[in-house]
Amino acid sequence: MAEMLPAQRQQRIIDRLNTDGQVRVNELAAALGVSDMTIRRDLTELEARGALVKVHGGATREAAATSLEPGFAAKIQREAAEKAAIAALALPMVRPGMSVALNSGTTTFALAKELAGIQNLTVVTNSPRIADVLWQADEPSLTVLLTGGVRTPSDALVGPLALASLGQLHVDLCFMGVHGVTLEDGFTTPNMLEGQTNQAFMACAAQVAVLADHTKWGITGLSQIAPVSAVDYLFSDAGLPAKAQAELRRVIDAVHTAPAA
């Protein structure tokens, strides 16, 4: 078989990147029959043209500053249908009488809007927006506990007061939104104080479920919350690449995807 030209090989890399959201050097080398060094040179050339961003061990589609933190108002507009579908998929996990924690996020916000109809529910959150949604539901049997703390650009309450509040609690289930997820870097956030607070959420919960739409795959924020294997459930949507779903299912007990909106 004739050796593939560099341009052909690089197009194959781009095609796979568009399908999977990220690529790895060793997998590309095996698939294309070339050395790791050849693939690294290809990735360097493609990055110089703005076609991808090199990361440790491979590449992703987009360059995003690890500390860039969009505000809540900006994020709530993105993938709204997918977030609603993820919330509906996760909702059956919540039963009357449970205590659940929701960290601040737009997908957890979508879930909060669905929780008001569940009787005798206790909700712990560091999101004033989530607390407000539940308060407006005017459900007498609903208890809402809002942590104290300093507000971040994404409207999360963080810092010593939030950590002290969460350190005294034990909940049945934590639903956690994240900024990004990769197998190598785990679940991440752009804000170090949010990362610390999210770790406290996980520590106070018997089980942890991450709610993350498909655009979070392949994204890495500044601060790691936890390795992928540290959570019990992952809820995403049908846009999550099949390869990503397979990889995640090898390390997470249950991975669920909502059907396309």
Where in the chain are the domains? 6-60, 72-258
* Helical axes 6-20 vs 36-48, angle rounded to 10°: 80
How confident is the prediction for the chain on average, in pLDDT? 90
pLDDT for the residue 1: 47
CATH entry, 72-258, from 3.40.50.10800, 3.30.70.20, 3.40.50.300, 3.40.50.1360? 3.40.50.1360
Provide the pairing of β-strand 58-60 with 99-102: unpaired
Q: What is the pLDDT of residue 73?
A: 59
Structure tokens at 194: 């949010």
What mean pLDDT is predicted for residues 9-26?
85
pLDDT in the model for residue 69 = 58
Question: CA 199: distance to chain centroid?
Answer: 14
Rounded to two decimals, what is the model's pTM?
Answer: 0.76
CA dihedral (29, 34, 38, 43) positive or negative: negative
Tens of pLDDT, residue by residue over 141-151, are 999 999 999 99
Q: Residue 61 pLDDT more than 80?
A: no
pLDDT digit string, tens, across residues 225-256: 999 999 999 999 999 999 999 999 999 999 99
At the topology level, CATH places domain 6-60 in Arc Repressor Mutant, subunit A (1.10.10)
Give 146-149's long-range contacts (Cβ < 8 A, gap of 24+): 149/197
Report the C-alpha gap between 66 and 219 in whole angstroms: 9
In the predicted model, what is the mean pLDDT of residues 206-229? 94
Work out the burial of residue 80: count CB atoms within 10 Å of its CB; fewer than 13 is exposed, 13-18 middle, 19 or more buried: middle
pLDDT tens-digit readout, 65-124: 554 555 665 566 677 899 999 999 999 999 999 999 999 999 999 999 999 889 999 999
Q: Quick one: pLDDT at residue 196?
A: 96
CA distance 45 to 36: 14
Map tokens 């539940």 to a residue.
134
Burial class (CB in 10 A: 0-12, 13-18, 19+), 232: middle
Q: What is the pLDDT of residue 60?
A: 83
pLDDT of residue 123: 98
pLDDT confidence tier of residue 164, bands split at 50, 70 and 90:
very high
- Minimum mean pLDDT range among 71-85, 164-178, 208-222: 71-85
